[in-house]
Amino acid sequence: MKSRILAYAGSVVIAAPLVLVGSGVANAAPEDNPPVSLVDNVTAPIYDYAGAIRETVWVTAPDLDGDGDEEQVAADIIRPRELDGTARVPIIMDASPYYLSSGRGNEAERKQYDADGNLVKFPLYYDNYFVPRGYAFVAVDMAGTARSTGCTDEGGRSDIESVKAVVEWLDGKGTAHDASGAVVEADWSNGKTGMIGKSYDGTLANGVAATGVENLETIVPISAISSWYDYNRWQGAVKSINYPSSLSRSVASNRTIATDCSARLDWMNANDGDETGAYTDFWAERDYRAGSYYDVSKVTASVFIMHGLQDTNVKTMNASKWWEDLGEQGVLRKMWLTRLGHVDPFDSERALWVETLHRWFDHELMDIDNGIDREPAVSVETAPNRWEHSPTWPIASARTQSLNLHSDGTMMLGRKDRSTASYINSTSLSEANAIRIGDNANRLQFLTGTTKHDLRISGTPTVDLDVTHTAPVGQVSVMLVDYGVMDRISASGDGAQTLDTETCWGPATATDDACYKEVGKRIASTELQVLARGWARLDGAGNHDVTVELAANDVVVPAGHQLGLVISGSRNGVLPVDTAATTYTVSLGDSKLNLPVSGPMAGFGPGHLTAKDTEKLSPGTLPDLDATVWPGR
């Protein structure tokens, strides 16, 4: 056997012996995968990128904007020329509303065309890296964006059905035409499609999978939405007014087809339910887990989820609930959870991510038995650059422990306190002031005392509250905080910073390279960190028994730290519905923090910072908790 020298991430390495897989004969059967070469049991780059076939088709979809005309959905395609007419190939697809608006990736790349309308630059690296390995790459303009007709729909039927139509055309169903109007068939495709994308792009992958469309083999949703209600709302609390129409208008910028979508946008404003925050038919249409059109029970594709545990844009419940629901349906799953925010793992964990994604697509689209399905399904960054691997998530050793709230500002296992505690609502209360240790009339704070052992929180914390208020409509904000000095990923810039160095991931042309700036993690020593947030709307004056679901997390809290629970009426990320100085009273006996934790909860010390201790602190500072002498220790 021959060995092959491969360019990989800008360096030259000697590859393992090359193995040919596939028939390699002309007129291969449609179900056959293309001939590929394996190096270290992954597909090697044996097809010419510069000479690959590049073409654009417009796939016909149903009338999705109500104007009486069928939609024409633009799909830009690149595929190996050597296999044209001899073998059919699988597809990696990134469907997006961003190709001509805000761009894709950390460097905001946009599609570029020559004077004749031919695509000369695909954003991102998927084309450069995977086409030489025997894949086609298809970049789809969602309806209402870029070069497609129709109107945008913030995750509704227009968005999903327009992309689904392309998946079906690639599987030999439906029709498409080129710029001249000639009918085009996808006779080069074997019908196997894998969808990938970050944010809105990954959301489209989730939605299309939830249609149950045939031959969508796998999806890789990165920082993606599984329910648009859970993106725009949190238990009735509203993110911002008329957000669906605002986002839909934004992603439709710079499109090449002038379309009046004002009626659709007005309809969205009239039906988004900002006034109540309720889950209505509008949101059921945009729910891929258990909605009116789409449902997790229809998913047949395997799913490789990636999400940042500090993502405050697409919050983690979009990944955690999707993961749980997929598991209940027996779907083949894999998941990465990083400590960053809304960041693509190509930027944060580049080499390992490309290697893992490569093996995943080879397994799911090329039927190569490389063992990735037999490895631990879940990888979690529980602290900066500290990774844990497990077959399940939350981890099997995590058990929900309930900490009862006490009027002296403690929370502990066991004994309940039957008294009450009150705070005064203030919309001017900042998060920084809310979580500072010490007395504050505008919030309640409960502390565990210091931990004697490391604890791993894995899953979704909840807080049971028995709360009374006098406002016509009330609200609560809840935060779980880790107090203790340590190196953490910063919340600034989603924890990522772009560097000056580059690495390259595939061959290039004069107009389309595969080189991208590296991205580092913003790691710094901090005194505390908010681990999870949650909100709830409380309709009507009087008593409310409510369970506030916090954002899912998986994080190690080191020994010597303490956990804090902060309860307020401040907005901290959602619109305030009670703007008065209303008094909220919490009945402590029926209120508690429910924490999914692995480790000895009894390891909490009996002490906590009291008001007397905080008098010693300079105004506006936080304690060095590692150096604090805890009362009662």
Active-site residue list? 199, 311, 342
CB 121 within 8 A of CB 109: yes
What residues contact residue 580 under an 8 Å CB cut-off, 6+ apart? 425, 471
What residues contact residue 182 under an 8 Å CB cut-off, 6+ apart? none
Q: What is the CA radius of gyration of the chain?
A: 26
The DSSP letter of residue 83 is: G
Of the candidates 154, 99, 87, the one whose C-alpha atom is nearest the C-alpha of residue 127 is 99
* Rounded CA separation 60/44 (Å): 35
CB 563 within 8 A of CB 461: no
Q: Helix or strand or coil: residue 231?
A: helix
CB 389 within 8 A of CB 334: no
What residues contact residue 60 under an 8 Å CB cut-off, 6+ apart? 70, 71, 72, 73, 165, 174, 175, 176, 177
Q: Is the peptide bond before 394 cis (omega within 30 degrees of 0)?
A: yes
- Tell how far CA 390 is from the center of its chain: 20
What residues contact residue 357 under an 8 Å CB cut-off, 6+ apart? 196, 220, 304
* Rounded CA separation 467/557 (Å): 29
* Rounded CA separation 447/247 (Å): 39
Convert 188-224 into a string of H (helix), E (strand) and C (coil).
CEEEEEEEEEECHHHHHHHHHHCCCCCCEEEEEEECC
CB 384 within 8 A of CB 521: yes
CB 146 within 8 A of CB 73: no
CB 219 within 8 A of CB 304: yes
* Rounded CA separation 378/395 (Å): 9
- For residue 203, give the amino acid letter: T
At 345, list the tokens.
Answer: 């793992």
* Rounded CA separation 435/76 (Å): 49
CB 512 within 8 A of CB 495: no
CB 272 within 8 A of CB 229: no
* Rounded CA separation 514/348 (Å): 17
